[in-house]
Amino acid sequence: MNDFMTWLYEHYIEPEIRLQPKDDGDTFRFSLMESAAAPQEREDIAAALRFYACHGFLLGLRTGAGLGQLL
């Protein structure tokens, strides 16, 4: 991932993800993941989340740009 996407994730995408409301099931899963995972596993999970969140964000931009001509 390039430097801009890393910056964008840290300053915009991740805070937005963390602010999303969680139901009891989500809260339980996040708590279980944080307490049961080893430190290396938590780093791997964070890296995977960063990858998918950034690529999902870019997909949304590309999709929105493509739909702009139709709207």
Of 11, 20, 21, 9, nearest to 58 by C-alpha is 9
Judge contact between 8 and 57, C-beta under 8 A.
yes
Confidence bin at 70 (pLDDT 50/70/90)? low
pLDDT (0 to 100) of residue 12 = 94
Confidence of residue 31 (pLDDT cuts 50, 70, 90): very high
Query: pTM for the full model?
Result: 0.77
Does residue 43 surpass a pLDDT of 90?
yes
Largest CA distance in the chain: 48
Q: In the chain, helix, strand, coil percent, each to 5?
A: 85, 0, 15
